[in-house]
Amino acid sequence: MKKYSVRVYVTLRASVLDTAGTAVESGLHQLGYEGVEGVRIGKYIELSLRAESQEKAEADLHEMCDKLLSNPVIENYRFELNPVEA
């Protein structure tokens, strides 16, 4: 079995209104940071994963993202996978 360190980025689809992002953007403007635009807030997930191969690890990750880590209706996901010493 190999071990992988994984980073998953879950973001709202562009078509979805990001109310949290909008709220943070107006908060930053009120603090005086007028130069800020287009704030979008998502999830950043770190985990480690044991699998027989990189292909198996990637297949599992796609399933995990579809089933639990993201909501496919309103969110996109991408991930980065790096082998680490087991």
Binding site for a copy of itself (CB under 8 A): 1, 9-11, 21, 24-25, 27-28, 31, 33, 35-51, 60, 63-64, 67-69
Question: In whole angstroms, how close is the CB of 33 to a copy of itself at the nearest point?
Answer: 6
Question: In whole angstroms, how close is the CB of 73 to a copy of itself at the nearest point?
Answer: 18
- Measured from the CB atom, the residue of 16 and 24 that comes closer to a copy of itself is 24
The CA distance from 76 to 10, in Å, is 6
The CA distance from 45 to 9, in Å, is 7
